[in-house]
Amino acid sequence: MKENKYKDFGFKLTPQRLAILGFLEGNTSHPSAEEIDSALSEKFPTMSLATVYNTLETLRQRGLVRELSIDPDKKRFDPNVSPHNHLICMECRRVVDVQENFPLSLGLQDKAGFDIIGHHVEFYGICPECRRAAAHTT
């Protein structure tokens, strides 16, 4: 990880924050704050969940992570801030990036006066692991 890329954001780089940034770097699992905290707790036993949440919120405000509201049970975070969509398993809640672009447009009536600045498509299904598990229980 290159620490210098974060210096321009006025972001104090504590060891805990660097660990969080390192965990997020290239991470495609769309982790929650709790998952990040759990993954880093052995190396940083005194780091609080509040530190993780505050760091994620600072990163979100600076455009370095996206907060996803695709899981009703917890917020998830995506370090891939480039435009993309998601595929979500309805059983285990696993989230997978979908890089395909889906050109969408709304008619004047449907826009309700909004200036459209972006969109996000979510696909829902059952992942291969959950399908295999279900096949073994039937």
Yes or no: say if 33 and 49 are a contact pair by the CB < 8 Å rule. Answer: yes
Distance of alpha carbon 36 from alpha carbon 20, whole angstroms: 7
**Where do the domains of the chain lie, and which CATH numbers do they carry?**
4-78 (1.10.10.10), 85-137 (3.30.1490)
pTM for this prediction: 0.81
Q: What is the pLDDT along the chain (138 residues), one digit of tens a residue?
A: 455 666 666 778 889 998 999 999 999 999 999 999 999 999 999 999 999 999 999 999 988 899 998 878 889 999 999 989 999 999 999 999 999 888 777 776 777 888 888 788 899 999 999 999 988 886
Distance of alpha carbon 85 from alpha carbon 82, whole angstroms: 10
Q: Which of 123, 119, 87 has its CA nearest to residue 104?
A: 119
